[in-house]
Structure 1
Amino acid sequence: MKVVTFGEVMMRLSPPLNYRLPQAASLEITYGGGDANVAAALAWMGVPAAHVTAFPQHELGHAAAAHLRRFGVDTRHCLFTDRGRLGLYFLEVGASLRPSRIVYDRADSAFANLDPAAFDWDEILKDATWLHWTGITPAISAAAAQATADAIAAARRLGLTVSADVNYRRNLWQYGQRAQDVMPPLVAGCDLVVCTEGDADDLFGIRAEPGTENGFVRMSEQLAARFPQIKRVIATHRRTQSASHERICGLLWQEGQFYETPFYDIAPVVDRIGGGDSFISGFIFGAATYGSPQEALGFATIASALKHTVHGDINLVTPAEVEHLMQGNLTGRLVR
């Protein structure tokens, strides 16, 4: 199995501890992006994974690429270009009743200015079995949307499994095209999607009662009816208690069958960024490892829960750590 992901990578800048940005005298640096986080989590779990993106041709771009390689991600097909900059985002980590906040500074990035023709997708995907992308990627620019479409078309020709986290970010769609027009043809090429009832309503006009089993099932059935290539729909449901306390469960619709996990209690939350990326990477791993859809979903949900305890965008947990919790060892006792 080899997984290829496609999307923007940004530098993340955060005050230490739980300081607010106006208090910060220094900022901690890491790198991440929804699609790249999936590749890095899978690589850390031992799955061959490559990420494709466009970086600026200077020290920051090369530092971001080196960050991915540090965790085992293949970056050989990344484009380095003089057109644009490295996108930034600033994270202020919340606590208790004060939510975390993000400030984006990503306009005119190298990824937004990429040339779709620069990527030879048949070559990039020739040894791969799975392509993953997120709805953030085609939201960034018309060029990024075209490159996403090209990647999906190549994956379909080559017989890969294609997955997407539709992840609708209304404020990102600024280049004159509507998500409601761009996303459906892309999603039509997917075998598996991560989609909530809210995203299905916003993007596809599919209405279902949010936060309920029946609502998720009805939404999934309507998605599959509209996009027949889709065979599986997954999502997490959250019951947020505070910035420091989350409860999550996993949901899966697979060709007419419904699966769910218990809610897992996460407190204190160390870093929730990348929780959704950890869920889909966990499901990709679980689906390839276990014969049971229930086990694959359980692995994905616990992997996502564990990400909330890990600093940074990337889920640095091993399959053994996830499986230990799958066996009911949920006390957090010291492992010697």
Structure 2
Amino acid sequence: MKEIVLFGEYLLRLTPPGNKKITQAENLEMHWAGSEANIAVSLATFKKSTRYITSLPSNSVGQAGIEQLHRYGVPTTIIEKEKGRQGLYYYESGVGARPGKVTYDREYSSFSMLEERDVNWDKIFNKAEWFHWSGITPALNENLAKICLEALKAAKEKGLLISADFNFRSTLWQYGKQSSEIMPKLLEYCDVILADVDAAKLYFNIHPDENNLVESTCSLLKEKLPNVKYIAMTMRYQNNASNEYVGYLWNNGAVVSSTTYKIDNIAERIGAGDAFMAGLIYGLHEQQPLQQVIEFATACGVMKHYITGDMNIASKEEIETIIQQKGSGRIIR
């Protein structure tokens, strides 16, 4: 089977237990994380052939991360660097009006020290049919932006389908380049994108109709990215005390939308976008009708809100149950 290849930094997340702030905590819980790794785990759980490309230190911490991926059936290609450490981030869970807070500690990580030609893309893509990346990687440093471009050119030459998540992280763009200087030329190679309104405005300086945000944003993005075939978005709406969550998928000038779900009693908001992206890739890879694609992707995002940690480890059957029950959460006996 041809592989879905994903490229990005594999991170170790440290979180205070019991919704504590870091200044209160006496110990930290450990979770493995990273946008592309999260997607790879979901796709492998859905029985898709995947390969995750990253760089890790050659020590017991890096080995523990690899073993976690292998536990979920994700093959890896690890580019080892003589120097470099494990990338970290710290996460304080949000509670009520207190928002969640991410603090990155990624400088001098093995992944951040990758250079052009460290990855043999030609060899990797010989067994691939799909390549996925996200806006997090080129945000880290200029070398990684160049590596993304190198990968995208190789993937396009091989005829792979290419997908990307906009994934704008304001605290990461610190190396003297603006995201609007880098992201548009990388996104030009993509067939499938997961966008959001704010990042779209920032990357492309577009001004969508505020009364028709989804459709107008997609139309303006298509003008900027003529090669894109599918544009997906998720939206959250505040309705009294509940959050409402819905997915949208644009193709060929038309938008289909998913069932709207009420999201209450959230266990973990981190990783919901990655879960949605995995569902989107799965549905499009299966060549499902677009309504079925967006229903499955959205249900993946919904499910992730109720799973602790960054990875959506729910099975395809569990996602389909959410769709059938329309999010009611009835007990299966």
Normalised to the residue count of structure 2, the TM-score between the two structures is 0.95
> Does residue 35 of structure 2 align to residue 34 of structure 1?
yes
Aligned match of 1:227: 225
CA distance in 1, matches of 2:17, 2:239: 23
Partner of 1:247: 244
Tell me, in whole angstroms, the C-alpha distance in 2 between the residues paired with 1:24 and 1:240: 31
Q: Which runs of 4+ in 1 moved over 3 A?
A: none
Q: What is the aligned-residue RMSD (CA, Å)?
A: 1.7
Determine helix, strand or coil for the equivalent of 2:117: helix
What residue identity is the alignment partner of 2:141?
Answer: S
Say whether residues 1:135 and 2:135 are aligned partners. Answer: yes
Per-residue CA deviation, residues 157-193 of structure 1 (Å, 9 max, x unaligned), is 1111100101122221111222111111110000011
Alignment of 1:11-50 (within 5 A): 11-50=12-51
The 8 Å contact of residues 261 and 326 in structure 2, kept in 1 or not, is answered as no
Q: Which residue of 2 aligns with 1:236?
A: 234
Give the drift of 1:234.
0.4
Displacement, 1:288? 2.6
* 2:157 is the counterpart of 1:157: yes
In structure 1, the residue matched to 2:214 is: 216
Distance 1:225-1:96 versus aligned 2 partners, 3 A rule: same
Does structure 1 conserve the Cα–Cα contact (< 8 Å) formed by 2:16 and 2:28? yes
In structure 2, how many angstroms separate the alpha carbons of the residues matched to 1:246 and 1:95? 14
Contact conserved, 2:280 with 2:293, CA < 8 A, in 1?
yes
Equivalenced residues, count: 332
**CA 1:290–1:111: 2 relative to 1, 3 Å:** same
Write the distance in 2 (CA, Å) between the matches of 1:187 and 1:9: 22
State percent identity of aligned pairs.
Answer: 35
Distance 1:66 1:276, change over 3 A: same
Residue pair 1:13, 1:29 contacting (<8 A) in 2 also: yes
Deviations 1:5-42 (A, max 9, x none): 11111110111222222221211111111111111111
| Matches of 1:255 and 1:231, distance apart in 2 | 7
Asked if the contact 1:15–1:91 (Cα under 8 Å) also holds between the matched residues in 2, the reply is yes
1:290 is displaced (CA, Å) by 5.2
The amino acid across from 2:227 in the alignment is Q
Residues 81-100 of structure 1 aligned to structure 2 (within 5 Å) = 81-100=81-100
- What is the CA distance between 1:278 and its match in structure 2? 0.5
Q: Separation in 2 of the partners of 1:209 and 1:109?
A: 41
Offset of residue 291 of structure 1:
2.8
String of CA shifts for 1:33-73, please: whole Å, max 9, x gaps. 11111111111111111111111122222222222121111
The 5 A counterparts of 1:242-321 are 246-289=243-286, 291-321=288-318
Which sections of structure 2, spanning at least 5 residues, go unmatched?
A: none
Q: Alpha-carbon deviation of 1:254?
A: 0.6
TM-fit CA distance, 1:209 = 3.4
Q: 1:122 deviation in Å?
A: 1.2
Counterpart AA for 2:101: R
Normalised by the size of structure 1, how large is the TM-score? Answer: 0.94
| Corresponding residue number in structure 1 for 2:66 | 65
Task: Name the CA distance, whole Å, in 2 between partners of 1:35 and 1:172.
Answer: 17
Q: Would the aligned equivalents of 1:129 and 1:161 in 2 still touch at CA under 8 Å?
A: yes
Q: Provide the rounded CA distance (Å) in 2 between the counterparts of 1:240 and 1:10.
A: 31
Match of 1:201 in 2: 201
- Cα separation, 1, equivalents of 2:246 and 2:180: 28
Structure 1: which amino acid aligns with 2:87?
G
